[in-house]
Copies of this chain bind each other. A is one copy, B any other.
Amino acid sequence: MDAPSAPRSAARSAARKSSGARPRELRHQALADARRRSVLDAARAAFFELGMEKTSMREIAQRAGYTVGALYSYFASKEEVYGALLAESLERLNARVRQAVEGCADEARRARRSATAFFDFYRENPRDLDLGFYLFQGMTPRGLTPELNEKLNARLRDALQPTQNALKALGLPARKALEEVTALFAHTVGLLVLSHTGRIRMFRQASQDLFDAYLRQLLARAGAGQEA
């Protein structure tokens, strides 16, 4: 899967896209996509500025230069807007991780680079982290269709896959590699959450340093595992 998709309303569009579309329809489709884009851009901007809670459909519409009703041509509900934003975010995350390991043959480096890319993506774009958690407000899923949820989870797994593969290549057994990548993921999320909520200054520690330390230990373990 490539493009971030619009679950409901874009069904027909998607169909058209894949068919040998005539020029007329292509132009139409391009326009529709562009408009969808502008709505998503407005939504992301609003959300980055005001936070999820205070971003209403009205707010998004205003920023996008549309009326409220018009948004509903593109998205069936507010949650769908956020679903699309989240999907996009995960695509960007994956792109970044992919780039980080591109053309790198050394497995230890691949592990380090992919994990760091993951961490950096969210460190640099804290709102994307919010996005990931919004739909689980109060830590409870809300509104996502199970299918979309699974899709998003899959994309998240994808972003960690390069690290997992590298760990295996370094000699860790599959089970151990999975364990380590999960722990790494948790560690990363923990650092980011605390850092963004201001809780980590509490200890006067830079999350960056802590991440590096954790990664060093992990790679040491992986190396040890290799030798063992």
Closest CB in chain B relative to A64 CB, distance in Å = 16
Q: What size tier do the contact residues of chain A reach?
A: 35 or more
Interface string of A188-214 (1 = CB under 8 A from B): 111101101111101111010110011
Prevailing SS type, chain A contact patch: helix
Q: Which residues of B contact A138 (CB under 8 A)?
A: 47, 51-53, 130, 134
Interface string of A177-188 (1 = CB under 8 A from B): 011011101111
Q: Is A19 an interface residue (CB 8 A)?
A: no
Interface string of A120-138 (1 = CB under 8 A from B): 0000001101100110111
Closest CB in chain B relative to A164 CB, distance in Å = 9
Given contacts A52-B137, A133-B197, contact A205 B190 (CB under 8 A): no
* Contact status A210-B182, CB under 8 Å: yes
Q: Which residues of B contact A186 (CB under 8 A)?
A: 187, 190-191, 193-194, 200, 207, 210
Q: Is A140 an interface residue (CB 8 A)?
A: yes
Closest CB in chain B relative to A149 CB, distance in Å = 8
